[in-house]
Amino acid sequence: MTPSRRTPARRELVLVGHGMVGQRFLEALTEQPGADAWHITVLAEEPRPAYDRVHLTSWFDSASGDGLGLCPEGFLERHGITLHLGDPAVALDRTARTVTSAAGRVLPYDALVLATGSVPFVPPVPGHDLPGCHVYRTIEDLEAIRADAARAEAGVVVGGGLLGLEAAGALKGLGLTTHVVEFAPRLMALQVDDGGGALLRTRIEELGVAVHTGTATSAVRAGADGRVAAAVLSDDTVLTAGLVVFAAGVRARDQLARTAGLPVGERGGIVVDATCRTGDPHVWAIGECAQAADGRVYGLVAPGYAMAETAARQLCGTGASFTGADLSTKLKLLGVDVAGFGDPHGTAEGVQEVTYRDTRAGVYKKLLVGPDNALTGGVLVGDTEAYGTLRALTLAGEPLTVPAERLVLPASAQGDEPAPALPDSAVVCSCHHVTGGAVREAVRTQGLTDVAGVKRCTKAGTGCGSCVSALAGLVKESLAEQGVEPARGLCEHFPQTRAELYEILRVTGLTTFTGLLAAHGTGEGCDICKPVVASILATLEPGHVLDGEQAALQDTNDHHLANLQRNGSYSVVPRVPGGEITPAQLITLGEVARDFGLYTKITGGQRIDLLGARVDQLPAVWRRLVDAGFESGHAYGKALRTVKSCVGETWCRYGVQDSTALAIALELRYRGLRAPHKLKSAVSGCARECAEARGKDFGIIATSTGWNLYVGGNGGATPRHADLLATDLDETALIRAIDRFLMFYIRTADRLERTSAWLERLDGGLDHVRAVVLEDSLGIAADLDALMERHVAHYADEWAGVLADPERLRRFTSFANAPDVPDPTVTFVPERGQVRPARPGEPGSPLDGPPGTRVLIPLTPVARPVQEARR
């Protein structure tokens, strides 16, 4: 085919590759003065324009690549860019300066930019190419994985780095028993240290993923059908699996350049200088296919974006260089927040460690401080809220203005001292190289009031997204300096507050998250707004929380109507209104705990907690409890938990009112009521206050003539005594006042705001609440009453709702081959006549056997293969 003629007025630029880095190059180029001098043609191997590989796993949530797209609508047309999809470059003639595509196109160029990315590394183990073996790179790869997962029961991921844990999360989400195999002695060996790796492993194993470190995959075995049947490890462990995903790293995709005689690195990667130019003055290389001037091949998006911007500026004559990049990383892997920044391993001389560890909360933080009191790096597991600030401080290299010890403490323990200020020179967003000074300047000069505006103006936060919390802090700080009230939107997807979204849903009658997002939000939603909207809809709309779209919005506990415990098992807490329970019900609880081998504990809220049930056992446990007259205690939800009571005048010689009867009536009235945060209550039968009512969200204390109502109290890390709202109420007036108080709180509180914090934040405080609740100062009392009556009228037990619906029951299945075979990763040890979860590194055993005889099975070296075979 004859090469097409060059356009005289414009020079020809060919971009090979249209991934994340390729698209960023196009955006950066078109932003430069002089970009009109280039006519741009793009050759893309994939059948779709650039999409977000960083959040590739989110594809499983919608099974569509639409939400991942990075190429704005109309962008190519506006800039006259020609894109050839599904047509990769196959040959490069540097003498003729042409690129030939697979479809036979011969494209001349004055400048050529190679953004060919990388290819997954697949270890050459026997069986690596069997049907059922996959890599985790493209949407097509995910489609193939999902298809194979439909006929598999277990999967193995080879690789315990960032991509491997992403793949493990996907397999687990597809309902497979999941194993991760990592050659290094810990997960994410490059990003975290031994302490962080140990906690990360514990958290992931608690979620039901089996982790095998310090070993390699030596072979993949086929079954009778010729497909993957098992993975064999170097320690001779055999893992039964229907599919294997290789996520053991990537290699620079440099074959096109290598064949054309361009210099490549010893370990791969097209060699480029600080301007991203190759050994050929007409050819540039950017992203994962390039070996940078410092001799490294960067596999993260932020360095790729920096290289793309460097090449774009060079092509337009504005000058730039790339000599290296920050390798900091923040991700949520299998629901566990993980981050590493700077030098997380403390290799520099004179560095000291500051470490905070809370194994109960699953939090590990380590900061590394140099001799000059500047941060040099750190590791965060379980709590990465401060990542953006800490990474920026590390990159700035300036001495800390606050003690490093304070930076690792929980927010509740940091006191009222101001957070350390980020220098203007600190790079907040490494993906787009946006500094703290640039963010402050944008807020000050562009009239911005929220993170969404900063994103639009500076592009900060639009790459990997790990800097968003730091951006929010900078916006708030900048607005405070100007005396401007910051925007109080729920998240970047909704500019409205939770209270405003509540009113929108109440008034418009919208009944779905997607409908609300389309009408009043942007983007796809996140783990902040989805549960909030789910809670509001549960309050306003009768129906089961696991029906339709609602199910996908729920938090982990709500998703299974039980509390997830540290070893991957669940706790079941039936409602016991007022703490009153019959002997027959006590016997039933004992029998259920005995038959399913559950640990039992009497809680501080007059409940009996049954702990240790596997997810597949939950319906069977519920069936026994529901048949005995129990129902869900909603211990898993942001809802009413308990109404505690003393025995009152019925038994106590000091009691002046029947506190037990009132507590039962209140609990039955408000059961299942979803709220911004959990709700607790108590009723005391006299002023001796044995039920501790003043430490509750709403508490009632008996008087000789009625009831005193207290509101806004709570215990926990920040205890607060409740305030007296009304005195000497009769029961009718009391219930009416509580109804209105609760609905007013639900209607106006922020996300995850307890009644105590809400009351202190509310303009007018207690006096305002008293005026609304008792005097109807806002004229909304009738609405509040009606909303509560609607809740009471439509209440239905969620456990019973699952048991009555085969479709809902399908959610509660074991990851093993047979529902009655215990998952070996959910293990226990005997203690004080019961069982408890095995601690990390402690040899534990699963529970097995028919109901009534469940016992611990010792996992001896002989028994382990038997367990694997049964799986």
pLDDT over 70 (residue 430): yes
**Cα 612 vs. chain centroid, distance in angstroms?**
24
Least confident piece of the model among 70-79, 475-484, 778-787: 475-484
What per-residue confidence (pLDDT) applies to 426? 79
pLDDT recorded at residue 568: 78
Structural domains for the chain:
11-119+252-315 (3.50.50.60), 122-248 (3.50.50.60), 329-481 (3.30.390.30), 498-554 (no CATH), 639-796 (3.30.413.10), 828-870 (no CATH)
Task: For the chain, give the percent of residues with pLDDT over 90.
Answer: 54
Highest mean predicted confidence (pLDDT) among 307-321, 713-727, 737-751: 737-751
327 vs 694, residue with greater confidence = 694
Helices marked H in 230-300: 255-259
Per-residue CA distances from 315 to 82, 116, 235, 775 (Å): 18, 19, 53, 71
Tokens of 586: 């006590």
Q: How confident is the model at residue 416, as a pLDDT?
A: 47
pLDDT band of residue 325 (cuts 50, 70, 90) is confident
- Angle, to 10 degrees, between the axis of helix 618-627 and the axis of helix 583-595? 160
Stated pTM of the model: 0.57
Residue of 495, 553, 502, 550 lying closest to 521 (CA atoms): 495
Q: Is the pLDDT at 11 greater than 80, yes or no?
A: yes
What pLDDT does 858 receive? 53
Provide the mean pLDDT of the chain: 87
- Say if residue 485's pLDDT is above 70: no
Q: Name residue 487's amino acid.
A: A
pLDDT band at 419 (very low <50, low <70, confident <90, very high): low
pLDDT band at 864 (very low <50, low <70, confident <90, very high): very low
Please tell me the predicted confidence (pLDDT) of residue 824: 65
pLDDT at 242: 93
Point out the least confidently predicted range of 3-7, 217-221, 392-396, 726-730: 3-7
pLDDT band with cut points at 50, 70 and 90 for residue 182:
very high
Beta strand 270-271 with 290-291: parallel, antiparallel or unpaired?
Answer: parallel
- Please report the pLDDT score of residue 848 as a whole number: 64
| % of the chain exceeding 70 in pLDDT | 92
Binned at pLDDT 50, 70 and 90, residue 66 comes out as low
Give per-residue pLDDT as tens, 744-774: 999 999 988 999 989 988 888 899 999 999 9
Exposed/middle/buried for 507, CB within 10 Å: 0-12, 13-18, 19+?
A: exposed
- Rounded CA-CA distance 531/829 in Å is 35
Quickly tell me which residue has 């006590």 as its tokens.
586
Residue 729 is predicted with a pLDDT of 96
Q: What is the pLDDT of residues 336-364, one digit of tens each?
A: 888 888 888 888 788 899 998 887 778 89
Q: Is it the case that residue 692 has pLDDT exceeding 60?
A: yes
CA distances from 328 to 388, 392, 393, 616, 815 (A): 10, 10, 12, 39, 34
Looking at per-residue pLDDT, the higher value among 494 and 840 belongs to: 494
Instruction: Determine the average pLDDT of the residues in 712-736.
Output: 91
The mean pLDDT value for 800-818 works out to 75
- Identify the pLDDT of residue 417: 53
What sign has the CA pseudo-torsion 348, 349, 352, 357?
positive
Per-position b or e across 563-574, b if 16+ CB within 10 A of its CB: bbbbbbbbbbbb
Q: Which residues are annotated as a binding site for siroheme?
A: 690
Strand stretches in 573-718, DSSP E: 599-602, 608-613, 640-645, 679-684, 698-702, 707-711
Residue 740 predicted with pLDDT over 60: yes
pLDDT in tens, 581-607: 999 999 999 999 999 999 999 998 999
With a cut of 70, say whether residue 65 has pLDDT above it: no
Structure letter (DSSP) for residue 578: G
Contacts 24+ apart (CB under 8 A), 235-238: 237/212, 237/868, 238/865, 238/868
Q: What is the DSSP letter of 348?
A: S
pLDDT in tens, 115-145: 999 999 999 999 999 999 999 999 899 999 9
What's the sign of the alpha-carbon dihedral 623, 624, 627, 628?
negative
> Is residue 791 within 8 Å of 639, Cβ to Cβ?
no
Bind-site residues for [4Fe-4S] cluster: 646, 652, 686, 690
| Region of poorest pLDDT, from 75-89, 102-116, 473-487, 715-729 | 473-487
- The answer on pLDDT for 617 being more than 50 is yes
The crossing angle, in degrees rounded to 10, of helices 731-748 and 781-794 is: 100
Judge residue 261's burial from the number of C-beta atoms within 10 Å of its C-beta, 0-12 exposed, 13-18 middle, 19 or more buried: exposed
Instruction: Output the pLDDT for position 362.
Output: 81
What pLDDT does 861 receive?
A: 36
Amino acid 5: pLDDT: 43
What is the torsional sign of CA 721, 501, 526, 155? positive
